[in-house]
Amino acid sequence: MNIRNSTSNIGNPTPFNAPIGVFDSGIGGLTVVAELRRALPDERILYVGDTARVPYGGKSAGTVTRYSREISDLLVTEGAKLIVVACNTASALAVPELASSYNVPMIGVLEPGAVAAVKATRSGKIGVIGTRATIGSGAYSRAIYSLNPGVSVTATACPLLVPLIEEGLFDDEITDLVLSRYLEPMLKSGIDTLVLGCTHYPLLKNAILKICGDRVTLVDSAENCALAVKAILARSEHAVVEPHLDILLTDSSEGFLRIAEKSLDLKIDSLAIRSVGN
């Protein structure tokens, strides 16, 4: 597949085939795209990967919000009928400020994950792993406590995981060691439910399961976000002409296609480079 520079609208979308707009800082949001494809196989999807500015997890709230606004503006310009913020950091820091700024629905991955975690826990002890920014915001804890004040939440920042995932080190002893360092204290605290509070993390699901075993239920925010999007679209009158997956990256990424096609079994119909922001 050729990668092209792009300035014009993708496929000239009309209200009848308007895409679902999805964005993340890098490859992590592809896990949301994969779940959207499973839940809504006939939909058009336009994904923006902000590969020039990945990762978002160590950046300030103001910077994440600015990046998120720039990409949301792009998606709206491209005719998106709904914006999926496929990034837990942006969901925590930017969605509360931006959601009312657009005339299309905006949904993050955080709230659906919190709802699923509360439903899944048996002991009331829930663990959350995410980037420094997501965990530092306290957004998951607040969302979970708002649903059930009686649960206990243990939240751990895992800043080394996104770089390992972006390098494609899904099945690697270094990744296993890092995961063990992060997860063992949480397991000792007795959690029975673990929220994968970063859309990159489902790519490490097998490695996480090796450490946690069947004593812990994993909550995949990507999967639950896709189900929430399906529920929103079920109430709309949007018609779909044909499924399509268009990708816009803000910089070239050597591993992007490999992970999309081999790890997530995604067929990409077009891939282009688009500059966003300054």
| pLDDT at 86 > cutoff 70 | yes
Q: Which of 86, 44, 81, 83 is nearest to 240 (CA)?
A: 44
How far is the C-alpha of 73 from the C-alpha of 86, rounded, in Å? 15
Whether residue 158 lies in the annotated active site: no
In a domain, 138, yes or no: yes
Same-domain check for residues 8 and 141: no
Share the mean pLDDT of the chain: 89
The predicted pLDDT at position 235 comes to 78
From the candidates 158, 198, 212, 225, give the one annotated as an active-site residue. Answer: 198
* Residue span of the structural domain in which 161 resides: 110-221
From the candidates 87, 158, 212, 225, give the one annotated as an active-site residue. Answer: 87
Cβ atoms of 94 and 65 closer than 8 Å:
yes
**Residue 3 binned pLDDT confidence (cut-offs 50, 70, 90):** very low
Number of separate domains in the chain: 2
Whether residue 87 lies in the annotated active site: yes
**How does pLDDT run across 118-135, given as a tens digit for each residue?**
999 999 999 999 999 999
**Residue 83 binned pLDDT confidence (cut-offs 50, 70, 90):** very high
The predicted pLDDT at position 167 comes to 85
The predicted pLDDT at position 268 comes to 87
CATH value at residue 180: 3.40.50.1860
The predicted pLDDT at position 54 comes to 85
**Residue 2 binned pLDDT confidence (cut-offs 50, 70, 90):** very low
The predicted pLDDT at position 278 comes to 64
Same-domain check for residues 234 and 217: no
